[in-house]
């Protein structure tokens, strides 16, 4: 039976470039691979046919001969033809997928994260804080190689230093896989360092100074370059990320650049008005309470908040007054309050407009209900 045109097999035109040829073969090889088509009788033949077409067309000399003389130009009986193994061709195209190639033994160290709790005052003002961080550092005795002093890593006997081994997966083709013994590095430690047991790194705690910029908040990160885990076999170290967590404050609640606080006042001060002291992060200030102040009213003290680390103006302090009901009253105090209550009830609409309005709305609500509801 006459062989099919190689370009036709790959679904290409004679002008296709090397990238198109490789892409077409990759698609057909994945489609007709015998291991993926155990129940398809012609899958192996189509796979071999595509592999043969790729082997000829991917080689410049063979392709030129094929373009000039057809199959006769690459016929093995006339001096040319298909050579090599299916594993060589398949590995050339799929090596990047199946882990082909030797891995570098030099690796960058991992990044570390450190959670740093700060008081609100520390976060607002900023300061320099010392922290102790456990990490893996390069072993001093072996200079990070993992081999005992005076020795060095040896070539892996399983892969011969290539970092990969050939694995037979069928009767006609094989794949290259990462060597399990050296994990792709091509070297093994036959005489490991006693200090690090061949790992090249040892666990140590180091003390670092962290400069906290003013205005940081929960969620902000401070990066310390090169202070993470040590690299492998002389690789660069990773980075340390200090994660800021601002602790709850007994007085203030932060929202961006603004601060909020509740200020309890007596109902006498709320009714008559007065002046009270309120705290700020920079000291005490006077707050004037106007007469007839209701609970929940917000008073804004401009510029008494926080300047955020990411920029923006200085925030404000917002004080919410909470009218506190007196407790543990003496009989004389209770009598005074009963007398006051009686006096106020004579003109409820005047002294308690919200209370009067609320009860009026309740009455209208019930009057609007249908009988039986």
85 dihedral zone (left: phi>0; alpha: psi -120 to 50; beta):
beta
Residue 98 reports pLDDT greater than 50: no
**Confidence tier at 107 by pLDDT (50, 70, 90):** confident
In a domain, 1, yes or no: no
Instruction: Tell me the three-class secondary structure of the chain, residue by residue.
Output: CCCCCHHHHHCCCCCCCHHHHHHHHHHHHHHHCHHHCCCCCCHHHHHHHHHHHHHHHCCHHHHHHHHHHHHHHHCHHHCCCCCCCHHHHHHHHHCCCCCCCCCCCCECCCCEEEEEEECHHHHHHCEEEEEEEEEEEECCCCCCCCECCCCCCEECCCCCCCCEEEEECCCCCEEEEECCCCCCCCEECCCECCCCCCCCEEEEEEEEEEEECCCCCCCCEEEECCCCCCCECCCCCCCEEEEEEECCCCCCEEECCEEEEEEEEEHHHHHHCEEEEEEECCEEEEEEECCCCCCCCEEEECCCCCCCCCCCCCCCEEEEEEEECCCCCCHHHHHHHHHHHHHHHCCHHHHCHHHHHHHHHHHHHHHHCCCCC
Q: What is the pLDDT of residues 144-195, one digit of tens each?
A: 888 888 888 888 888 888 888 877 655 555 677 788 888 777 888 888 998 8
Q: What is the pLDDT of residues 238-267, one digit of tens each?
A: 899 999 999 999 999 999 999 999 999 998
Residue 93 and residue 54: Cα distance in Å, rounded?
10
Residue 2 reports pLDDT greater than 70: no
| CATH number, position 272 | 2.60.260.20
User: Tokens 């804004």 correspond to what residue?
Assistant: 300
Statement to judge: residues 194 and 315 lie in one domain: no
Tokens of 312: 């923006």
**Model's pTM, two decimal places?**
0.57
Measuring CA to CA, how many Å separate 135 from each of 118, 238, 336, 357?
22, 10, 70, 67
Q: What 3-state class would DSSP assign to 166?
A: strand
What is the number of structural domains in the chain? 4
Statement to judge: residues 173 and 231 lie in one domain: yes
The top-scoring range by mean pLDDT among 55-59, 61-65, 351-355 is 55-59
Statement to judge: residues 220 and 271 lie in one domain: no
Statement to judge: residues 320 and 352 lie in one domain: no
In a domain, 100, yes or no: no
Q: What range defines the domain where residue 276 resides?
A: 253-324
Statement to judge: residues 237 and 286 lie in one domain: no
Q: Give the model's pLDDT for residue 97.
A: 44
Residue 338 and residue 294: Cα distance in Å, rounded?
21
Statement to judge: residues 229 and 146 lie in one domain: yes
Residue 309 reports pLDDT greater than 50: yes
Statement to judge: residues 83 and 51 lie in one domain: yes
192, β-bridge pairs: 147
Statement to judge: residues 208 and 151 lie in one domain: yes
| Domain stop point among 60, 94, 128 | 94
């Amino acid at each position: 039976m006459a062989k099919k045109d190689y370009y036709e097999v790959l679904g290409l035109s004679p002008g296709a470039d090397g990238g198109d040829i490789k892409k077409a073969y990759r698609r057909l090889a994945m489609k007709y691979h015998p291991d993926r088509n155990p129940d398809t009788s012609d899958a192996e033949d189509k796979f071999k046919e595509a592999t043969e077409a790729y082997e000829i067309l991917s080689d410049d000399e063979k392709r030129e001969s094929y373009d000039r003389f057809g199959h006769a130009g690459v016929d093995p009986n006339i001096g040319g033809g298909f050579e090599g193994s299916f594993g060589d061709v398949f590995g050339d195209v799929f090596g990047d997928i199946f882990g082909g190639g030797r891995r570098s033994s030099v690796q960058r160290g991992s990044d570390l994260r450190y959670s740093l709790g700060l008081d609100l005052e520390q976060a607002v003002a900023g300061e320099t804080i010392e922290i102790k961080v456990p990490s893996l550092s390069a072993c001093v005795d072996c200079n990070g190689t993992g081999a005992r002093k005076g020795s060095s890593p040896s070539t892996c006997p399983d892969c011969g230093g290539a970092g990969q081994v050939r694995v037979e997966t069928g009767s006609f083709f094989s794949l290259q896989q990462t060597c399990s013994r050296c994990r792709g590095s091509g070297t093994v430690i036959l005489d490991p360092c006693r200090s690090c047991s061949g790992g090249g790194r040892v666990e140590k705690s180091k003390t670092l100074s962290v400069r906290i910029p003013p205005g940081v908040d929960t969620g902000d990160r401070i990066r310390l370059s090169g202070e993470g885990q040590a690299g492998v076999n002389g690789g660069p170290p990773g980075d340390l990320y200090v994660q800021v967590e601002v602790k709850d404050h007994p007085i203030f609640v932060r929202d961006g650049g603004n601060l909020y606080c509740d200020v309890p006042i007596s109902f006498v001060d709320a009714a008559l008005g007065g002046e009270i002291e309120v705290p700020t992060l920079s000291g005490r200030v006077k707050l004037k309470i106007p007469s007839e102040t209701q609970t929940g009213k917000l008073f804004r003290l401009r510029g008494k908040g926080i300047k955020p680390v990411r920029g923006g103006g200085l925030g404000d302090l917002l004080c919410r007054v909470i009218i506190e009901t007196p407790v543990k009253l003496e009989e004389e105090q209770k009598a005074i309050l009963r007398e006051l209550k009686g006096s106020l009830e004579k003109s409820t609409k005047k002294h308690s407009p919200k209370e009067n309005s609320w009860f009026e709305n309740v009455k209208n609500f019930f009057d609007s209900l249908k009988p039986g509801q």
